[in-house]
């Protein structure tokens, strides 16, 4: 997500390592990192910063909040009120903060890695639709396999896994990598393929809210990053297929008691996205003749 200039939402039940994963990602980049622990009493100014009156000079001086960093870890973001959650809207979309009528630019590159518990958990607030739409991708960790969990017990007795994390790239190097990803070619046929998938979510009867145009843009950006990591300078339909559910599922909303076209009940929104992707015609590569 960092190479695609997007933000990441990690959603799962407590205790599976969401915060550890976010901190490990942050430690891999040699840049400014901050962490915000979201709580019900957190205020928007605690995130963006505040203007403080200096009696000595008779002027207001802006004190930056923790959002002024290259990587911001938002821990348990849905434990704060929707008003406080919304303090990140301008930051995530425009890379800036406006306080008392003055605009302050954020660092570049800028990434928010947020963790949240499922909304059914006690003491949580659902993220507003506008907030969810600004996250490029949502992932879940899940419970470990038996052997992995047993190995975790042994390893954690000796050392914290975060102690082994070291920076692998600095900000200058990361900026160059992002510039390379921007140059990855996306053919008109692949662009249309991504658009058709997004359009299909807006027409599907199982969905009350379909994917926004912003989601189409971010799907293509994520596909560019995937292609670059695979050593290619062009995007193929498989890149779109592999990322569609991760990029789109947190943006769409199921209708109550949603059903598939064959009458089966929909158990999860991922099922609808997978069905839409499978039903969308894959573009055929142009012939060399």
Q: How far is Cα 20 from Cα 104, in angstroms, rounded to an integer?
A: 30
Dist. CA 47–CA 37, nearest whole Å: 10
Q: Is the pLDDT of residue 244 over 90?
A: yes
> Within this chain, do residues 138 and 39 fall inside the same structural domain, yes or no?
yes
Query: Is the domain of 135 the same as that of 21?
Result: yes
Q: Are 78 and 63 in contact (CB under 8 A)?
A: no
Q: Which of 23, 42, 41 is nearest to 33 (CA)?
A: 23
pLDDT confidence bin for 284, thresholds 50/70/90 = confident
pLDDT band at 263 (very low <50, low <70, confident <90, very high): low
My answer on whether 129 and 89 are in the same domain is yes
- Looking at the structure, tell me whether residues 19 and 150 fall in a common domain: yes
67 token code pair: 């959002």
Average pLDDT over residues 89-95: 91
Judge whether residue 119 has pLDDT over 70.
Answer: no
Return the CATH number at 47: 3.40.50.300
DSSP 186: -
* pTM for this prediction: 0.88
- Give pLDDT, residue 190: 97
Q: Decide if 287 is inside a domain.
A: no
pLDDT band at 152; cut points 50, 70, 90: confident
Q: Is residue 160 part of a domain?
A: yes
Given a contact cutoff of 8 angstroms between Cβ atoms, the answer to whether 224 and 184 are in contact is yes
- The reply to whether 17 falls in a domain is yes
Q: Give me the pLDDT at residue 2, please.
A: 84
Are 83 and 16 part of one and the same domain? yes
How many domains are contained in the chain?
2
What gap in Å lies between CA 190 and CA 236, rounded to an integer?
7
144 and 212 within one domain? no
Which residue from 217, 222, 228 is spatially nearest to 243, judged by alpha carbons? 222
Domain span including residue 86: 8-168
68 with 150, same domain: the answer is yes
**Domain end marker among 111, 137, 168:** 168
d(CA 180, CA 228): 8
User: Residue 172: pLDDT above 60?
Assistant: yes
Closest CA to 68 of 20, 112, 25: 112
In a domain, 2, yes or no: no
């Amino acid at each position: 997500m960092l190479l695609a200039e997007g933000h990441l939402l990690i959603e799962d039940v407590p205790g599976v390592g969401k915060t550890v994963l976010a901190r490990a990602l942050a430690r891999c980049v040699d840049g400014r990192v901050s962490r915000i622990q979201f709580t019900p009493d957190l205020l928007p100014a605690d995130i963006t910063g505040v203007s403080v009156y200096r009696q000595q000079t008779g002027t207001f001086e802006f004190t930056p909040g923790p959002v002024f960093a290259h990587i911001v870890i938002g821990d348990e973001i849905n434990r704060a009120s929707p008003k406080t959650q919304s303090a990140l809207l301008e930051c995530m979309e425009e890379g800036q903060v406006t306080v008392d009528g003055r605009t302050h630019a954020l660092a570049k590159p800028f990434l928010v890695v947020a963790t949240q518990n499922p909304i059914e958990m006690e003491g949580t607030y659902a993220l507003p639709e506008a907030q969810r739409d600004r996250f490029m991708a949502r992932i879940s960790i899940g419970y470990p396999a038996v052997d992995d969990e047993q190995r975790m017990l042994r390893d954690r007795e000796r050392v914290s896994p975060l102690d082994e994390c070291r920076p692998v790239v600095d900000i200058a190097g990361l900026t160059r990598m992002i510039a390379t990803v921007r140059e990855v070619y996306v053919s008109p046929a692949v662009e249309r393929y991504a658009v058709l998938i997004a359009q299909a979510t807006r027409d599907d009867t199982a969905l009350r809210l379909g994917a926004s145009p912003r989601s189409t843009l971010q799907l293509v950006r994520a596909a560019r990053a995937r292609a670059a990591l695979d050593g290619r300078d062009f995007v193929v339909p498989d890149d779109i297929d592999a990322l569609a559910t991760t990029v789109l599922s947190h943006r769409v909303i199921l209708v109550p008691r949603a059903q598939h076209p064959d009458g089966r009940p929909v158990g999860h929104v991922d099922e609808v996205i997978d069905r839409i992707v499978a039903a969308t015609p894959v573009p055929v590569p142009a012939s060399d003749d």
